[in-house]
DNA sequence: CTAAACCCTGTAGTCGACTACAGAGTCAAG
DNA sequence: CTTGACTCTGTAGTCGACTACAGGGTTTAG
């Protein structure tokens, strides 16, 4: 298991070659070295880094935020407080988005309940009525 | 209050002129006619249509979906069932997004709780630990 | 009558996370 | 030794909802 070419890494990590080059442009990963012909050669443990990225994405972090997390992760002298702060900011962000969606869902629920569906034409549709500002 | 030029309409509706032209490209609005010089002239009641669009956006509908809603709204023979179906699909969509976000929030919450923050370095940070796949 | 303020079309840029080439060079199997 | 699979760089396209020009023509206030 020596240096991986980008195609092998892509297969191992289940990502496309283009995505890997894209991550490199963003500074998320880098090949350990280049071959004489300029081919990227990766150490196998970059796969761990890619898994880090995927897990962080699943938690809602953007690639830019993940770059910060990776930088902190690579600096043993850095404080866990910074990671915690990023995490709490993300929690706040997610909570705000949830609240927005909850508000929409409630409004839509109320309207859908009132709507008689196929027993009426659009003229009597309370959903369209609300969108047309018939109440308030 | 006769035909509005696009600038006046933009002011009245609190939208930019560019946005109005963009909505026209998408088929959401159309000027009643054009002046001799080719200027768009709108009937004042297009403002109601723009409010419809804004309300629907606030409920989470995309402009493409709003075009459908407007088409149904303009067809008195159409069934309210179609509007209800669109609404219920949107509710389902929003609920799925809420569930995804809830899952993220829960995971982040758990991690943030365990993290000692500034009392530790990143080496002992459980958040980074989790991202590195230390558990499971 | 002139200058500011308006309007037109058409094109391109923004954000984020990719995806898809084109055109060229390189490597590995048979 | 050839052919196919791989890799390189660089550029452009995708989605959605705008936003921002450039380079013209038109209208209106003073």
Tell me how close the Cα of B36 comes to any Cα of chain A, in angstroms. 32
C-alpha span between B49 and A31 (Å, rounded): 54
Could you tell me which of B119, B115, B120, B129 has the C-alpha nearest to residue A84?
Answer: B115
Contact between residue B41 and residue B4 where contact means Cβ atoms under 8 Å apart: yes
Tell me the per-residue pLDDT of B12-39, one tens digit each, with 9 for 90 and over.
999 999 999 999 999 999 999 999 999 9
Strands (E), chain A: 33-34, 40-41
- Reported confidence tier of residue A1, pLDDT bands at 50, 70, 90: low
Using CA atoms, how far apart are residues A14 and B123, in angstroms rounded to an integer?
28
Quick: pLDDT tens for B105-135.
999 999 999 998 898 899 999 999 999 988 7
Nucleotides of D under 7 A from a protein CB: 6-9, 16-21, 25-27
Q: Please, which residues have CB within 8 angstroms of residue B131's CB and are 6 or more apart in sequence? A: A52, A55, A56, A59, A69, A73
Does the pLDDT at position B1 exceed 80? no
Q: Which residue is nearest to nucleotide D6 (CA to C1')?
A: A7
Of B69, B101, B109, Cβ closest to residue A131: B69
Nucleotide nearest to B65 (CA to C1'): D16
Q: Residue closest to C7, CA→C1'?
A: B39
CA distance B104 to chain A (A): 5
Mean pLDDT throughout A21-26?
A: 97
pLDDT of residue A136: 63
Residue recorded with tokens 């709108």? B42
């Amino acid at each position: 298991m020596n240096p991986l070419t980008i195609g092998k890494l892509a297969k191992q990590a289940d990502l496309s070659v283009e995505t890997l080059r894209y991550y490199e442009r963003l500074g998320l990963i880098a090949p350990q070295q280049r071959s004489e012909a300029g081919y990227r050669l990766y150490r196998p443990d970059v796969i761990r880094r890619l898994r880090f990225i995927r897990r962080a994405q699943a938690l809602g972090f953007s690639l830019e935020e993940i770059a910060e997390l990776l930088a902190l992760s690579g600096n043993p002298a850095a404080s866990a407080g910074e990671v915690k702060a990023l995490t709490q900011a993300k929690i706040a962000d997610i909570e705000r988005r949830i609240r927005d969606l909850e508000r929409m869902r409630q409004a839509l629920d109320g309207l859908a309940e009132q709507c008689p569906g196929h027993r009426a034409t659009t003229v009597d549709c309370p959903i369209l009525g609300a969108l047309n500002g018939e109440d308030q």
